[in-house]
Amino acid sequence: MTIQARLSLVAAALFSLAACGEATQSDTQTSGTANAAERAPIGIVIHGGAGTITRENMTPEREAAFTAALTAALDAGYEILDAGGDSMDAVIAAIQLMEEEPLFNAGRGAVYTYDGGHELDASLMHGGTLDAGAVSGVRTVRSPIALAREVMENSRHVMLSAAGAEQFAVEQGLELVDNSYFNTEHRFEQLQRALELLREQDRTGDHIANADWDSAFDMGTVGAVALDQQGNIVAGTSTGGMTAKRYNRIGDSPIIGAGTWADNASCGVSATGHGEYFIRYNVSAQICSRVKYLGESIEAAGNYVIHEELLPAGGTGGVIIMDAQGNVSMPFNTEGMYRGARTSRLGTVIGIYSEEE
Ligand code: ASP
């Protein structure tokens, strides 16, 4: 199927996707198994970063590559759910494919730090048990999301960082790589542009945490939220963080509540965007709290936090959200967000820009 055909299908199934990237429940079924309506709802929603992603900046080849990568990640997760597998495995499978894909700012393809290396962050949360695992500043672990899972399942802790996290990875037998494994040319060029911008900001006295997000710092963090047949929601996020980050900067992605949250009683969320703001506004947990305590739909809660709170404050980015009924919402306040969902009710939807055809 061509991209245009796929996007038309998407637009027909999910007309609300065109409105600032929000996808909501629809009865239209574009794929899925025949008995899907009788089973408990299952589904997975993913993102591959938000930012200045416009049609003008995009080539057909690049668009096709992103669409293919998002589709592969969705399918990998969905097949696990469809076979009766759990949402933890589905989230890990989808995120690991995106970590291996150099297009995204996670795993191979991670952005560069100020010093020219890579420091990776990841987190995971289980909505049934509220167990969580997270790692930050990891330099040699091929799959940071796999390490987050080890922290959750095999340690007494929730969050490990830097050398200690790597020591734990060794003890758990995870695959290690040289830091240069994460190198890519396009991220290196991005670092050079970011360094120039930082030097300019040093001259003018602007502080980067408050500066407008520039395309030099463009994102590509990946995340997934899945709902399995048992009704468990799991959310996960993996990233290289922010281009030219310094001083062991940690963003929102490994912070439970900011970049990742899951609670079967409300929803699961994975975020992408200017992490400093997502931390300060506790974005992922806040969305689910609005659902839980105010009784808002995931669509209303996500829109409120992303458009009414973050945007006026200067925080750019977006989130993917899924609830226990399999509803999906993908609000963002940037020009684009790589995103997609595959659920037993909706079939598959993929979006890139804020205005889908
Ligand atoms: N939220 C990530 C961070 O601030 C970046 C991103 O989503 O692209 O580290």
Listed in sequence order, the DSSP H helices in 83-143 are 87-100
Q: What is the pLDDT of residue 39?
A: 85
Ligand 1 pocket, 251 CB below 6 A? yes
Q: How many residues does the chain have?
A: 357
Nearest atom in ligand 1 to 251's CA: 9
Q: What is the pLDDT of residue 1?
A: 41
Asked if 320 contacts 339 with a C-beta cutoff of 8 angstroms, the reply is: yes
Per the residue annotation, which of 67, 113, 140, 221 is the catalytic one?
A: 221
Nearest atom in ligand 1 to 273's CA: 7
Asked if 122 contacts 254 with a C-beta cutoff of 8 angstroms, the reply is: yes
Q: What is the pLDDT of residue 208?
A: 53
**pLDDT tens digits for range 303-349:** 999 999 999 999 999 999 999 999 999 999 999 999 999 999 999 99
| Cα of 305 from ligand 1 centre, angstroms | 17
pTM for this predicted structure: 0.90
For domain 41-356, give the CATH number: 3.60.20.30
Q: How far is CA 40 from CA 6, 37, 84, 320, 325, in A?
A: 26, 8, 11, 21, 8
Catalytic, 221? Answer: yes
Residues of the chain below pLDDT 70:
1-37, 206-218, 356-357
Query: Angle 25-279-332 (CA atoms, 0-180°, nearest 5)?
Result: 35
Q: What is the pLDDT of residue 12?
A: 34
Ligand 1 pocket, 242 CB below 6 A? yes
Q: What is the pLDDT of residue 333?
A: 96
The residue whose C-alpha atom lies closest to atom 7 belonging to ligand 1 is 272
Asked if 78 contacts 33 with a C-beta cutoff of 8 angstroms, the reply is: no
**pLDDT tens digits for range 224-264:** 999 999 999 999 999 999 999 999 999 999 999 999 999 99
